[in-house]
Amino acid sequence: MVDSNQALKKYGKPNVQMEYKHMVSWDVPDWINRELPTVPNKIYCNRDLVKPLQKAFENIIERCLQNEVKTWDGCFNIRLIRGSTDPDDWSLHSWGIAIDINAAWNALGKIPQMSPELVKCFTDAGFHWGGTWRRKDGMHFQLARI
């Protein structure tokens, strides 16, 4: 599982004033937006996230699980891991290599309300799911490797 130390080594320290050479504004293909209207037309994310995320969306569509993606709740957000006071404990959202979906039904620390079939769409595409952690984060998917 990727942690903030690995991301720090590969991408550098998150800072709102630095230029993020690894970040892109991904134009989500129209056919994905037609099938998954909750997904935005553009996603500001790490270029390493684009192919796995597109594959996860393709899996969702191929497996007819579009209705299970109720909300898109974000990707890029420079911040510490929720609840952390360690100044070097950055969330992987800080590098745009994590996403959140269906947040209202999958609050941090609560029992996830995500179907195993939907989770598999992401894990089959190269993501790790926060719903398996000791402190459950069912809305959260992050790249399993960088």
pLDDT at 18: 58
Q: What is the mean pLDDT of residues 103-110?
A: 96
Task: List pLDDT tens digits, range 56-105.
Answer: 999 999 999 999 999 999 999 998 788 777 777 799 999 999 999 999 99
Q: What percent of the chain has pLDDT over 90?
A: 84
Surface-to-core class of residue 111, CB atoms within 10 Å of its CB (0-12 exposed, 13-18 middle, 19+ buried):
exposed
What is the DSSP secondary structure assignment for residue 6, as one 8-state letter? H
Query: Where are the strands (E) in 1-146, listed by range?
Result: 23-27, 42-46, 72-74, 98-101, 127-129, 140-143
pTM score: 0.94
CA distance 106 to 86: 25
| pLDDT at position 20 over 90 | no
